[in-house]
Amino acid sequence: MTAVGVSGAGGQMGRLVAAAVAEAADLELVALYDPHAAGETVAGREIAATPEVMAGAAVVVEFTRPDVVMDNLGVWRRLGCHAVVGTSGFDVTRLAAVEELWGEGPSRCLVVPNFSIGAAVMMRLAELAAPHFAAAEIIELHHDRKADAPSGTATATAERLAAAAPEQHRAVESRELVPGARGAAVAGIPVHAVRLPGLVAHQEVLFGGPGETLTIRHDTTDRRVFLPGVLLGIRAVADLPQPVTVGLEALLDL
């Protein structure tokens, strides 16, 4: 039985994760933390206002905000917990900071831009396609309450595309008449972020070459799709070979 705590337990994903952990036969929900929802009850447990409540957890699932996640990770590392992180905002610089923070030792940290199995497959397919096309762009679409843009999934995808195909060749570079019209460059890949009510999480990777295009798209229509990936991460994090691992694909043999 693995003791699990949920950080950000008052949020939409935090509540879903807490309920899924409580229902799993091999997991035990032992702590909930969220200073913005302290005192509320989720999955039969009261949400605490202080992070020290996680002292009894072997694994902490972190679904909070980019502006607090690093401080939280510092606490989980100090407490000797493994961490499974679903918070957005982990670019190359922040991942380097996590590796420095985590250092060596028995604790493990798994950072996952997107817990959807389909999204992990989408990113892998895009990585395989990249060397065969002249250029690529990403359109990511999320609900209008998402805390950051571009999404962690889009950032991770762009970085993987850039590594797989370092040179993009375009016959014409359009001049922006309105700043931002061409999106933001992430590792040299244009990324366009759409935020609208009614959306959940969606991403298109568009490839272009002489005479043809290819589009790889993934759509999330219900946040519950993330739960199998979260549970997989909880069960596998302690056995990861490195102190810090990025991406669910490391657990899916992709």
Catalytic residues: 142, 146
CB atoms within 10 A of CB 245: 18
Token pair recorded at residue 122:
């989408």
Q: Is 195 helix (H, G, I), strand (E, B) or coil?
A: strand
CB 120 within 8 A of CB 157: no
Edge to edge, the sheet with strand 82-85 lists 27-33, 2-7, 59-62, 82-85, 109-111, 244-246
For residue 15, give the amino acid letter. R
From the list 47, 91, 90, the residue with the least C-alpha distance to 69 is: 90
CB 234 within 8 A of CB 84: yes
